[in-house]
Amino acid sequence: MEQETLKIEGTVENIIYRNENNGYTVLDVDAGGELITAVGELGDIEAGEVLLMEGNYVTHAKFGVQFAVEYCERKLPSTSVNICKYLSSGAVKGIGPALARRIVDVFGEKTLEIMEKEPSRLMEIKGISPKKCESITNEVQKIFNLRHLMIYLSKYGLKASVAMRAYQQWGHQAIEIIKNNPYSLCTPYIGLSFKKAEEVAGEMEETVDPHKRIEAGFVYLLNENANAGHSCIPIDAFEKLACRYLKISQSDFYDVYNYMTEEQKIFEYIKNDRGFVYLDDYYYAESYIAGRIGVMQAFSSPEDFDYEKLIDIEEEQNGIHYETLQRKAIATALSRGIMILTGGPGTGKTTTLNAIISLYEKKGESVMLAAPTGRAAKRMSDLTGRDAKTIHRLLEVEFDAGGKLKFKHNENDPLECDVVVIDEMSMVDVLLFESFLRALRLNCRLVMVGDGDQLPSVGAGNLLKSLIDSKCIPVIELKEIFRQAERSCIVTNAHKIVSGQMPDLTQKNNDFFFFKRSQPDMAINLLVDLVKTRLPKAYGYSPTDDIQVISPSRKGTTGVIELNKALQEQLNPKNKLKQEVKSAVYTFREGDKIMQTKNNYDIVWSKDGEQGAGIYNGDIGKILSISKQRMEVVISFDGRTAVYTFDMINQLELAYAVTVHKSQGSEFEAVIMPILGGFEKLYYRNLLYTAVTRAKKLLIIIGSEEVIARMVANNKRTNRYTCLTAMLRDEMKQHE
């Protein structure tokens, strides 16, 4: 039975907590003498305001009964007492309690009306100079503009967070822009769905230009296409999609399409006589990448130098013999402006890379190391013995006035180094790579390392594959499996999988084990027993630090959600001494292994007295403490301690089990992987290959031989629409 919506009117007494980014607020409301705790996306509400709230009472596991607000109508305080309380709260920058009392003493109940409509009268107040008056007026205008916008959008059931993003984007013009074109709310930054924008448009008195609807629909569909990993889409496919989704004719499609291309709101690129359509960001990114690589190639004429002699000396000093392709890779890296080093596990990529870095340093050149994720950067540091940063940390994240992400380092402030080495290039998307290239000096050399058989980036494009396929950049692929690696069944089976052969599932005394199970419950019971008891007892592994469960899917009986719940119950069970907090999916408790699921550039962390900002998608940590009073969760990410407020916990997931995609860029002492079928779209060769190569010393697969065979046979790689390869080739022709 559906719960009846309740209406409550009251005065805000106290702001307990507010997230400035999304407007999520916890506050006390005096509702006719009863003090109620209300929660929701309420925006910039301050003490003294009168609220008409619609919602329902909910019982929080830790905080008891709360009123969850779905809709909120704000009324400005009308009594002198409440107006004074409102101004004293810090609602208007520049007005403290003492000044608030003086203003209200003069203007009484008309204070707010005068501040909005006759702000110059504030100079009647002792202590308010013309300059002070101007400053307060500007702040008041911002408050009232945002307030009007929130009230306006609330009529259409839109939350405060939407209003806040719209105000950040358009300022005082926001209402007029939305009235003129409600579909403008669909922009990625504001994030309203096209369906919801349709509803808003349908409720408006104003008639919306149908062409503006189609334009917004095009942008929405192209953004959805990018979210699926494509940097562009064939025009013929886009036409069919748009006509079906927007219910428009072919004629209407081309009317708007031609207009948007002429105005450069979208872009067209012809590849093999077939047109592809781009959003501007992705077109500019791939175009810039192609152009910049062309320039880097032009600056990289081989030097007249005997690199073989240098490599001989390096061999002698380190007692290492480099095989032919390794020597070629080292010489190429030293002599060319840009190169790609690729190869599967056990082929000596790390040994080769260490030689490249060492020789650059001996030449007196400064080398920076980077990787797409925090764990990949840490692994790179461990393997090279040198500091490695995430690409985001290397470029130094900043935000512009509108709250949009940008990087400190760019063409105007390039990185101070001679060489940059990027590992795990398969995880880098085209937008990030464009930003990275813009931060390189023209004479800076670039060495890219990656495995082209791994899964592509979460973001749009298929960068590493496109670069390799273009044949415009020197690519050295290491193929020889070294003797030490040959003894590893993990390595040999990984190479079998990538070449389309069935892995050897019969070994019982090495580092690769297969347990046949056909029933999910039996597979889960075995998996939990291995993690909790058998592997720690046999190998001394920590169930949380050394062992990682990896699943192809997120949902289903052997997906990561259910596996995490089963593993949490055994590894970190409910305990009266352990505090808990609930998210939409999980109950988190002190001691849990967790993962950050989105890039958050604002989170401040500390480590050994050092402070920094940014916790990134895929970072794994441990919950140290949960405070009900402070509404905070303290988490350690490899020694970096960060504080999360309760409204941020939906950025977290339990990480006893993670998806293959989330595991990319990381290595674990032991990996356990259930493969029982059920999600056939996810079961393909390079996903299995990626999972297998996450294990350093031990890999255990539980499940079905038949499903593994289907995965190996399914070489339908993650196909993505991109024109970067063609752009690179066109660019190289211009430099010939």
- CA atoms of 259 and 209, how far apart (whole Å): 14
Beta strands 405-407 and 397-399 are antiparallel
- Strands (E) in 426-529, as ranges, are 445-450, 475-478, 512-516
Average pLDDT over residues 474-501: 83
What's the token pair of residue 137?
């007026």
Contacts of 330 (CB under 8 A, 6+ apart): 307, 311, 314, 322, 352, 355, 356, 359
Partner residues linked to 422 by β-bridges: 370, 448
Of 277-286, 503-512, 577-586, highest mean pLDDT: 277-286
- Find out whether 617 and 429 touch, Cβ atoms under 8 Å: no
Average pLDDT over residues 338-361: 90
Q: Is the pLDDT of residue 647 over 60?
A: yes
What's the confidence (pLDDT) of residue 546?
93
Q: How far is CA 607 from the centre of its chain?
A: 23
CA atoms within 13 Å, Cβ hemisphere of 728? 20
Q: Is the pLDDT of residue 2 over 50?
A: no
Q: How many CB atoms lie within 10 A of CB 709?
A: 13
Q: Is the pLDDT of residue 302 over 60?
A: no
Q: Is the pLDDT of residue 4 over 70?
A: no
What's the confidence (pLDDT) of residue 42?
77
Helices (H), 641-723: 660-663, 685-692, 705-713
Mean pLDDT of the chain: 86
Report the run of H or E that residue 29 belongs to, with start and end: strand 24-31
pLDDT in tens, 35-49: 888 888 777 777 777
- Strands (E) in 401-499, as ranges, are 405-407, 419-422, 445-450, 475-478
Q: Strand, helix or coil at 651?
A: helix
What's the confidence (pLDDT) of residue 584?
78
- CA atoms of 339 and 356, how far apart (whole Å): 12
pLDDT in tens, 400-436: 665 667 889 999 999 999 999 999 999 999 999 999 9
Report the run of H or E that residue 659 belongs to, with start and end: strand 657-659
Average pLDDT over residues 372-401: 86
Nearest alpha-carbon partner for 49 in 96, 92, 14, 11: 11
What's the token pair of residue 695?
């294990």
pLDDT in tens, 204-255: 877 778 888 899 899 999 999 998 889 999 999 999 999 999 999 999 999 9
SS3 content of the chain, % helix, strand, coil (to 5): 45, 25, 30
Nearest alpha-carbon partner for 164 in 23, 18, 17, 15: 23
Beta strands 587-589 and 580-582 are antiparallel
Sign of CA dihedral 688, 690, 693, 694: negative
- Find out whether 662 and 552 touch, Cβ atoms under 8 Å: no
Average pLDDT over residues 143-163: 79
Helices (H), 73-173: 80-88, 97-107, 111-117, 130-154, 160-170
Q: Is the pLDDT of residue 643 over 60?
A: yes
Q: What is the pTM of this model?
A: 0.78
3-state secondary structure 223-274: HHHHHCCCCCEEHHHHHHHHHHHHCCCHHHHHHHHHHHHHCCCEEEEEECCE
Average pLDDT over residues 180-189: 84
